[in-house]
Structure 1
Amino acid sequence: MPKQEEKKLPLTRSFWVYFLKSDTNPDNYPTPNNKIAKKIMPFQWGNILTVTKDELVPMYFNTLDSLQKKIQRYRDLPFGIKQVRKGGNGRQMLIDFDSLPKEIQDSIGDPRKMQHPMIPFFQFDPSAVRYFTDFRFEDGSPLKENFKQEYITNASVLLAAERLKTARLEEWKKLKKNSGRGLLPSLCTDLITFNEYLPKLFGVQHTIPSSYRAFDRIWKPFFNTFEEGYHYGSLISGKLKNQNRKLMTDEMIALLNDMFAGQEYKPSRTQVANQYKAFLSGDLEIISNETGEVYDHSNNAKFKEISDSSIIAWLGKWEFKIGTFAKRSGDRQKLMQSFIPWHKLTKIKEAGTLISIDDRQPPFMYDKNRNRVWFYMGIDLGSETWTCWVHGKTKEGIIIEFYRQMIRNYIEWGFNLPLGLECESSLNSSFKDTFLRNGAMFDNVNIYANRARSKAIERKFEELRYRHEKSRLGWMARPHARKEENQKSGDEEVFIPYEDIIDHSLHDIEIWNNAPHSVHTEKTRWEVFCEMQNKNTQPTNWRALLPYLGKETISSCNAGIINFRNTTYVLGMDGEITLGEDLIRLMKYVEGKEFSIFWLDGNDGSTLKAMIYYDDMMLCEVVPHPEYSKSKHERTEQGDLNRKLMSAYENTVNSFMAQQKREIEQITIIDHRSKTLNNKFQIPGRKKYTQTESIPQELLLEENTGYHYEKTEGTARSWKSNFR
């Protein structure tokens, strides 16, 4: 077998589909762009031998246009290339084969002049194609395309020779030549000469050896190895099999990966190779921390000798690097850039659909300790508008204030909070079960764990840094910037006052929001934010937010009035004063009791929302106590409305009080319970009364003496009169 890697056979369209379909209709011939294309050979169209344009373009004419110009030039002349049928509407253009230049005819091959005993028997074998297409070496790698073509062609030629052998034996029997002697040498000769016709007929060549002895070493294994079928694998070079054999055992691969990524320090691949060599010689002992197992270096079946270069190459393969680098890497961002595929996402179309938030430090220092300002910012991805920002000298408490500020801004501007949020996990993960739960503050929340490229805001920060801030005095370059213009210069460090850094950053936000939108270039980003809000946004879910984002104040309710923030409030629901049964129900909970009020102030210091939290329940709101002028002449229209509201509030309580009073009945209680256990303790000198002498005799009336009302002038009311 010749050296396989040196054989370079052209992959032609004629190779792939000849064996799949035998169709002589030229209209069904595939185009050259189709990978599955069969051999386009000259064929009879009526009495004319023709070829299609695909046989000529681009092999002999660069483009179809150049072929058509050539045909047009010789259309009315008795010589030159001639078209016998126009193409179009699913039909192939047909060219008269005999009108082609002789060199093209010889290159294509004239089937009328081609005579070889193997031509009638040759066709590409479908089983060979399936076998070599699906073939895998020991290490799982497939055959390269040029080897696939070579082995499919060789197998098909051998099968054609087998069919020729059968036909030739039948012919010899007719000639009463019973001996098959000399049959295989004749087939070997036919195979050698068949290479003169294969390129013209099918665009390929076989690589079966020309010597009979080498031919015999291929013929016998191919046909005689299996009782049924053919041994296609015998055609594959042993050298290829050796190159793709499994050089390393699974135990070796696992051990080398453990040595590379499982040690307390990070060795190089060369160091691992040296350690493995020492392990095989017994100079180095390896123990599994998990199981306590001591690896047996004398087990040659598991741990083979291998060169240092092979170990270095194996450890450098992607399938091993992706695990070992993940174990060794301390920079998750670089790890993800090297190994993790990224998603291609379409641009958000409407404002209020998704907001992306993260922290950043503007590249300026405000003191000699190289301290920098902390910002936490949010950008609406649909409008590209910065909608929220807070700042401070540290990150402590900045995240809670950021969400409070977001609520303030959106309410002040008259918009609902965005539908979705994307954020990093370091500051936000602790809120995932409270106000960052889906449906609380946002309908959908994506919290990314150390995945900078997943957040769109990172690209916006980069634009802020290099397009807005870079031109200012004191700008700091990144330590390892790729571009030279973004690297640190030789100038001395400049410190900018803290207040100036804040003011410049806010100025950049103003410039940014008033700049043209990337898609709607005729509008600013702020205009897009105001005019293209998503219609599915929801009102603020205060009940879910205030227990976590609100400020807390302890207060109480007395006669339906609540003292809060140096003024008075009343009970309310949905921003309005509560009346009727709802008011009575709420007062049953809070009247005369202490409770917590969770509230949030606006940018102007006023109360945006305040709600009563009592007995583990968010009960209701507190709304400002309606007020109006005592003088009717100074009372405004709003004052009249406030007077009616407060009167209704008062009348609700009065009505409930009257109802409760009407339901009360008068009763008399006679108490027979003794106030003492016994009379053992007595004070000397006091007149004692027995049970029968409990009333002095002089106060008792005689038994027969009747009571005469007319003779008695008492002023005290009798207890009996209470029952009349």
Structure 2
Amino acid sequence: MPQEWGNLLVVTKDELIPKYYNCISTLKSEVHRYKDLPYGIKKVQKGGNGRQMFIDFDSLSKNVQDSLGDPRKMRHPLISFFEFDAIATRYYNDFRFEDGTPLKENFKEEYIINASVLISAERLKEARLSEWKKLRKTSTRGIMSTIIRDITTFNEFLPKLFNVTHTIASSQRGFDRIWKPFFESLGDGLNFESLISGKLKNQNRKLMTEEMMDLLNDMFAGQDYKPSRTEVADQYQAFLNGQLDIINKETAEIYDPANPNFREMSDNSIIAWLGKWENKIGTFAKRSGDRQKLMQQFSPWHKLTKIKEAGTLISIDDRQPPFMYNEQRKRAWFYMGIDLGSEAWTCWVWGKDKKGIIIEFYRQMVRNYSEWGFNLPLGLECESSLNSGFKDTFLRNGKMFDRVNIYRNRARSKVVERKFEELRYRHEKSRLGWLARPHALKEENQKSGEEEIIIPFDTIVDQSLSDIETWNNSPHSVHKEKTRWEVFCEMQNKNTQATHWTAILPHIGKTEISSCNAGIIKFRSTTFVLGLEGEIALNDNLIELLKNIDGKEFTIYWLDGNDGDVLKAMVYYNDTMLCDLVPHPEYARSIHERDEQGQINRELMSAYENTVNKFMAQRKREIDQVLIIDHRKKTLNNKFQIGGRKKYTPNTDIPKEVLADTEENTYNHNTATPTARRWASNF
């Protein structure tokens, strides 16, 4: 609608495009053509930076002016009262029919305009009544006739003002059918629903009752076999005719065809209702035997951003390379893990049987990361079938990995599945003996007419390992100037943590029984000493460990590295993981052959030995000499005697010494030393 801008009447470019000009370029060309001429279209304000482009209304052609309408010439009583009603706009945009469907856009527009015109007409009516009262008109008869005339003639101005028209009837009878229900049926409120056509309501009314839909879904998905929708429609008609009984297995309820909720409906309608999404999502879930296809058809998927750093998340799963190694069509089993940040394969194991391969996979992961000098990944995503048994042991959050996601029958949730597909079709497909999938969608991936070829097992494994090498040495999808392996080595996540050996060794480690003697443990045909956190234990730490295990048998949990040597070994005693086993430090006997590391080993072993010797000396100094007198009887009585045996009888009389008179007189009882034999002298 043209608007006043200072002393000018202007229009915006949006009012001219595309009704009068195809695009903004055409309008600008037209403005530029007449810029310096005394006639033609003129621009009075340049658009851009939040400003509207304004075109002088009077510079437009007469046809365009008449089409837009000149508000200076237009005179109509409803113009000053009309505006699009906000409540009506919200109501019709949010309206839903009985079956839940909304209004179509053209009907929304029609009802919003009609409601806004009626509300404006009501305002005009009130203003007109007020004027009549001022003029002291006692009768209001005929006022509605003027309102109907104004509403009808308003359609001459609406297109020019707002590019719309209303559809309100112009006859008295037709107008009354709209006006009275809209204003009078709800008292003080406005009955916006009264403007909606009854035909639309009938078309969208809920013909299918809840009880009827529940029964049809039960018939479609609750029978012992899988009927088609056509069969269900036929069964329902037979049920209504009394020719077929339906019994609920859980409640033993016999459904009554006389129930008014079970209505007559055509077969096509029943088939259509059973095919609706809200019904299929339940019935297909009940009937489906392929969870993967069910999830693809109904379950929404998440859109996730790509992992940026190596060591953040590893995705693992099992696969069988598409080659067979014997006449029984046996295929090799692989279990593989790919680092999602670097896209590099970091762990792989293989075998002829799937059983037992999973534990070896986690062992190999620890071996690889330890050999390469990296910490284990922060997160793990895996499938449920082989890993669910470990969710309460080493796959619990915070043990081997900081966060573990175990997916149950959700192949598309694991990135590794898409990487397997790439291995299959980009690396393996060109090889001799490649097996196509039975139901491949693309023709080039379907089975050919050639005979199947048997490939030796070792060849299949070697080719798969070659594919891993090629893959890891290929360019990264984002950092194209680097290989996937280079990204893995150079862009490790800084938040990764050292391997939590105490938490994982009891579950993935191998076991062996051994003992400790003088702080030395014999294990794997060599010797070890006690340690903590990979370092040799000394001082109080060593003494406490020896108190617990020296001279005792215990269990050693250990894991070998890729070179076959002991990668990690820990002592487990009395339900406690006590300490590490550290290789026994060794050095050359001759000082002339002893290198720097040998000297370090000598000092470490000396400190280890001195800790024990120092503790031994301390304990020795703490010992005091004591005398023990045993008063315990060795027999209960002396009833048994051996005849003729000469027994020793101790003399209990105290011997007396006869002294001379002179000596007796001079004897000093305070200072004389007794001459009798002391009992202590017997010892």
Say whether the fold is shared (TM-score over 0.5). yes
| CA deviation profile, 1:684-724 (whole Å, cap 9, x unmatched) | 4446x7xxxx6166xx77732589xxxxxxxxx9972588x
Change (3 A) 1:675 1:288: farther
The one of 288, 302, 316 aligned to 1:329? 288
| TM-score normalised by length of structure 2 | 0.91
Cα separation, 1, equivalents of 2:48 and 2:582: 80
Q: Which residue of 2 aligns with 1:442?
A: 401
Structure 1 residues 82 and 656: alpha-carbon distance in aligned structure 2, compared to 1, 3 A threshold: closer
> Match of 1:75, SS?
coil
Displacement after TM superposition at 1:190 (Å): 4.0
Deviation at 1:372, TM superposition (A): 0.5
Unaligned runs of 5+ in 1: 1-40, 708-716
Pair 1:261-2:221 in alignment: yes
Bigger shift: residues 361-370 or 323-332: 323-332
Query: 1:681 deviation in Å?
Result: 3.9
Q: 2:159 — aligned with what?
A: 199
Q: Classify 1:722/1:64 alpha carbon distance in 2 versus 1 (closer, same or farther; 3 Å).
A: farther
Corresponding residue to 2:655 among 700, 703, 712: 703
Q: Which of 107, 122, 126 is the aligned partner of 2:67?
A: 107
Q: How many residues align?
A: 666
**Counterpart in 1 of 2:386?**
427
Within a 5 Å distance, the mapping from 1:129-168 to structure 2 comes to: 129-166=89-126
Match of 2:669?
none
C-alpha change, 1:380 and 1:696, in structure 2 (3 Å) is closer
Q: More deviation in 263-272 or 540-549? A: 263-272
1:235 aligns with 2:195: yes
- From 199, 204, 228, the equivalent of 1:244 is 204
What is aligned with 1:346? 305
Give the residue type in structure 1 aligned to 2:463: H
1:60-209 aligned within 5 A = 60-166=20-126, 183-209=143-169
Tell me if 1:414 matches 2:366: no
Q: Does 1:525 align with 2:484?
A: yes
Measure how far apart 1:177 and its partner are: 7.1
> Are the structure 2 counterparts of residues 203 and 596 from structure 1 closer, same or farther at C-alpha, using a change threshold of 3 Å?
same
**Residue identity in the other structure for 1:310:** S
| Superposition deviation, residue 669 in structure 1 | 2.6
How far the C-alpha of 1:214 sits from its partner, in A, is: 2.5
Distance 1:306 1:641, change over 3 A: same
**Which sections of structure 2, spanning at least 5 residues, go unmatched?**
660-676
CA distance in 2 between counterparts of 1:223 and 1:642 reads: 101
Distance 1:184 1:630 in 2: 123
Query: What is the rounded CA distance, in whole Å, between the counterparts of 2:94 and 2:180 in structure 1?
Result: 24
Report Cα offsets for 1:172-200 as digits up to 9, x if no partner. Answer: 77888765555545544443333232212
Q: Which segment drifts farther, 445-454 or 281-290?
A: 281-290
In structure 2, what is the Cα distance between the partners aligned to 1:436 and 1:382? 21
The aligned amino acid for 1:296 is D
Match of residue 32 from structure 1: none
Deviation at residue 369 of structure 1 after TM alignment? 0.8
3-state secondary structure, aligned to 1:423: strand
1:357 matched to 2:316: yes
Q: Distance in 2 between matches of 1:538 and 1:201?
A: 70
CA offsets per residue over residues 463-519 of structure 1, 9 Å max, x none?
Answer: 111111111111111112121111111111111111110010000111111111111
Partners in 2 of 1:544 and 1:163 — Cα distance? Answer: 79
Q: Which amino acid aligns with 1:474?
A: G
Structure 2 CA distance for partners of 1:574 and 1:170, relative to 1, 3 Å: closer
Structural mapping, 1:621-660, within 5 Å: 621-660=580-619
Query: Does residue 416 of structure 2 align to residue 464 of structure 1?
Result: no
How far, CA to CA, are the matches of 2:592 and 2:2 in structure 1? Answer: 111
Alpha-carbon distance in 2 for matches of 1:278, 1:145: 41
Distance 1:638 1:114, change over 3 A: closer
Q: Which amino acid aligns with 2:680?
A: K
Name the residue aligned to 1:534.
493
1:126-169 C-alpha deviation (Å, 9 max, x unpaired): 33223323322222332222111111222222334444445556
| SS of 1:293 mapped into structure 2 | coil
Aligned-partner SS, 1:195? helix
Counterpart position of 1:4 = none
Cα deviation per residue 1:625-654 (whole Å; 9 max; x = unaligned)?
A: 223343444444433333333333233222
Looking at structure 2, the residues matched to 274 and 472 of structure 1 have their Cα atoms a distance apart, in angstroms, of 53
2:360 to 401, 419, 424: 401
Once residues 702 and 127 of structure 1 are traced to their aligned partners in structure 2, the CA distance between those partners, rounded to angstroms, is 131
1:284 partner letter: L
Please show how residues 24-43 of structure 1 align to structure 2 within 5 Å: 41-43=1-3
Name 1:19's counterpart in structure 2: none
TM-score normalised by the chain length of structure 1: 0.86
Q: Say if 1:587 and 1:208 are closer, same or farther in 2 by CA, change over 3 A.
A: same
- Out of 45, 51, 54, the position equivalent to 2:11 is 51
Shift of 1:343: 1.6
- Counterparts in 2 of 1:272-351, with a 5 A limit? 272-300=232-260, 302-351=261-310
Sort the Cα spacing of 1:631 and 1:47 in 2 relative to 1 into closer, same or farther, 3 A. Answer: closer
Q: Secondary structure at the match of 1:388?
A: strand
Distance verdict in 2 for CA 1:160–1:544, change over 3 Å: closer
Quote how far apart the aligned CAs of 1:89 are: 4.9
Tell me how far apart the structure 2 counterparts of residues 644 and 121 of structure 1 sit (CA, whole Å). Answer: 102
* Residue number among 495, 503, 510 corresponding to 1:551 in the alignment: 510
